[in-house]
Amino acid sequence: MVCVRTSTREQAKAPCLPPRSLLLSPPMPGRTFAIGDIHGDLDALLRLLGTLPPLDAADTLVFVGDYLDRGPRSADVVALLRALPSQTPAKVVLLRGNHEDGWLRVLERGWPEFVIPPQNGCLPTLRSFLGRPQPAEGEGMADDEVEPLLKGTFFPADVVEWMQALPYWYEDEHAIYVHAALPKGPNGFEHPSTTQKRLAMLWCRDDEFVRDYRGKLVLFGHTATKYLPPELSEYTPEDKEDAWVGPCVIGIDTRCGKGGFLTCVELPSGQVYESR
């Protein structure tokens, strides 16, 4: 897989030119655009979507999860994504991320270890849904925010139902798409359709998966690409912030909502689009 980049900076310089590509043939039908973790960054999502070429009914948009937390506009990101199927002819696939899964656990039985640590960015999500100002650096929750945060009761019922319905994985002719990784069983890495370890596809950070998996191409988020081994990436290994491309896996969590940017990889061409 050879990937080439398109960014909003390039479009600003040459708005009439198509995205750069190593392909000499016209775009193929049946394209899939896999988009990484958004984490409440609506501006990055809008910029990224603005870089994509016109879509048609043969195309698919796959979002690999983590729409919530950290960034300032989680509620708006969710609203946009839920409305997207009615606004594009392309098929839209929205996968479950570990942050959506974490909130569902909070709603079911509580999970203070998830919602309290500032690095998880749960307070910004509460304030986004309640229409309150985002917390300043170091600011804690107000007294009237403690119970809603610990129990997740600020989520509208329809958003909870939407999160509950998010699938754990998707597959098409190009690749398998999961949030985190494929789990490993006694006979090697397991296909999502047969594994009993569904949560591993949302939460696992597995260096062995990144280094040793060989099989159908897998695109995943969850682990920021800056923490993946740069010496094994076939795509700009000198830039640890970029998408990570190995022989059979592509990592697309480029820290959107956490000071990074949003990345999309188009298959089968290998075209890379960015919000930066």
Q: What is the pLDDT of residues 25-63, one digit of tens each?
A: 455 559 999 999 999 999 999 999 999 999 999 999 999
pTM for this entry: 0.90
Express each pLDDT in 133-189 by its tens digit.
999 999 999 999 999 999 999 999 999 999 999 999 999 999 999 999 999 999 999
Place of tokens 């061409």: 269
The answer to whether residues 275 and 264 touch, using CB atoms and an 8 Å cutoff, is no
- Cis, bond preceding 19 (omega within 30 deg of 0): no
Averaged over 10-26, what is the pLDDT?
Answer: 37
Contact of 95 with 169, CB cutoff 8 Å: yes
The topology (CATH level 3) of 32-274 is: Purple Acid Phosphatase; chain A, domain 2 (3.60.21)
User: Cα separation of 45 and 274, whole Å?
Assistant: 10
What is the model's pLDDT at position 29? Answer: 57
- Asked whether residue 191 carries a pLDDT value surpassing 80, the answer given is yes
Residue pair 197/183 in contact (Cβ under 8 Å)? The answer is yes
